[in-house]
Amino acid sequence: MAEPIPYLHPKAVLSMDIEVKVNKPNPILSKEKVVIYNRNVDVKSTIKALETGNNVLITELYNNGSILIKELQQHLSEKLPNKSFKEQREFRLVYHKLSNLILIEIENHQLLVKKSPNIGWFEKLYPDTKDLLLTYPQVQGLNSSWQWYKNGITIPVLRNKIHPYYGVYFPTRFEHLELFDNWLKRYSGPKKTAIDVGIGSGILAMQLVKHGFQKVLGTDTNPNAIVGLKESMGTTKLSRKIELDFASLFGKWNQPTELIIFNPPWLPETRNSENLDEAIYYNKSLFNNFFEAAKERLLPDGKLVLIFSNLAQIIGLSKENPIEQEIANGGRFQLERCFTKNVKKDTEKTKRDLNWRNKEEVELWVLTHK
């Protein structure tokens, strides 16, 4: 049986002077002016209410929310194209806007409707607010996240499961992790310290520890990543091997190191991008800022390893690879080696037109000082 995960308050003090407050869905404290939905209500009129900007409250059964969500998806699929990458993104924007007008009530940290799941995040994330409303998609996300957190997720390159905290990205495909693991097996340099920029769920850092690194220094701008890792490591061996800083890029880690790891977002932001997920989209200044800072923190014989993908090129979001641009024009680093690995093809069960997936490759770039 797995050891219980220690509790950490959503406002976690990680040092003498740093308090990290986790990201969580903003609670809605009033249910005034809502349209009631259950199985006795006409679903088409309910969708019209959503399209005119009205909130809809799910009542009676938890599954009523799923029924309404499914009908909304079907309604939008008949109205909007949903094949190309750009069409899918526009579809998701409209769906996100309308589906998040669907609300569900929580009382005493439990969903009020019948036959609903028990979601421990309500008490962990809202210890001082027992009664609230959240959107139905938020609750669906919290439910899935709670299962992953409670039961753990198997990662092929790690010995133990990870328990990702709410709001922290974790991979569902593993080719890039396998590529990194294979590189680490062949790495013959010193293993005193490494810096993991954007540590996320901690998988790359754990791989480094597995392959003998004495200390891994990690940063992240997502407070949930820092709080979640601090909680899951507890007082285990990992807590002595991995140190954390809630900061962008290199944070407080100024001492030069022999290895820097960076698995940046793989897609560039676009002008019409809203509510950007920083784990997926990067801004124009990210890579230049990273390479500039990395130049000062990499030892003379050190290695800079970036994990990337050709995804932006094959779906038409960008014609340029920012790492190739740095090598060609940055004047700071040179290429030692680039390794690639094909991403597994989607199954025939996939309904969407994702032929571009078959062309996707993950990349591991090894750079050294010029």
Global pTM? 0.85
Cα 67 from Cα 157, distance rounded (Å): 38
Average pLDDT in the chain: 89
Q: What is the pLDDT of residues 316-341, one digit of tens each?
A: 788 889 999 999 999 999 999 999 99
**What single DSSP character describes residue 6?**
P
Instruction: Look up residue 105 and give its two tokens.
Output: 């009530």
The pLDDT value recorded for residue 80 is 83
Cα 245 from Cα 112, distance rounded (Å): 39
Cα 222 from Cα 76, distance rounded (Å): 32
The pLDDT value recorded for residue 120 is 97
The pLDDT value recorded for residue 350 is 47
Measured between alpha carbons, how far apart are the two ends of the chain, in Å?
A: 51
Cα 46 from Cα 1, distance rounded (Å): 46
Place of tokens 């309604």: 75
Question: Could you tell me where the beta strands, DSSP code E, fall in the chain?
Answer: 11-13, 19-21, 34-37, 55-58, 102-107, 110-111, 132-135, 193-197, 215-220, 242-246, 257-262, 267-268, 281-282, 298-309, 333-342, 361-369
Containing 139, the helix (H) or strand (E) segment is helix 136-151
The pLDDT value recorded for residue 15 is 47
Cα 276 from Cα 156, distance rounded (Å): 29
The pLDDT value recorded for residue 247 is 95
Instruction: Look up residue 217 and give its two tokens.
Output: 């220094």
The residue among 104, 91, 96 whose CA lies nearest residue 55 is 104
Consecutive sets of 10 residues in the chain, 370 residues long: mean pLDDT of each? 46 54 89 88 94 94 96 91 79 92 96 96 94 96 96 95 95 94 97 97 97 97 95 92 96 96 86 56 88 97 96 82 95 97 68 62 96
The pLDDT value recorded for residue 177 is 97
Number of CB atoms found within 10 A of residue 195's CB = 30
Cα 101 from Cα 54, distance rounded (Å): 7
